[in-house]
Chain A
Amino acid sequence: MNLAEGVQFVSFGILAATTIAAALGVVLLENIVYSAFLLGGVFISIAGMYLLLNADFVAAAQVLVYVGAINVLILFAIMLVNKTEVFQPMKNAWFRKGATALVCVGLFALLATMVRSTSWAVLDSVAPIESTAIRLGEHFFSDFLLPFELASVLLLISMIGAIVLARREFVPEETDAQREVVFRLPERPREPVGAIGESSSASENS
Chain B
Amino acid sequence: MEKPRLIREDGLRHDGRRPDELRPVRISIGVLNKASGSALVEYGGTKVLAAVHGPREISQRHILLPDRAIIRCRYHMLSFSTHERKSPAPSRREIELSKVVRESLEPVVISEVFPRTAIDVFVEVINADGGTRTAAVTAASLALADAGIPMRDLVVAIAVGKVSGTLVLDIDEAEDMYGEADMPVAVAPSIGLITLLQLNGVLSREEFSEALKLALKGASQIYEKSREALRDRYMKVKVEE
Q: Note whether A and B form a binding pair.
A: no
- Chain A residues with CB under 8 Å of chain B are none
- Chain B residues with CB under 8 Å of chain A are none
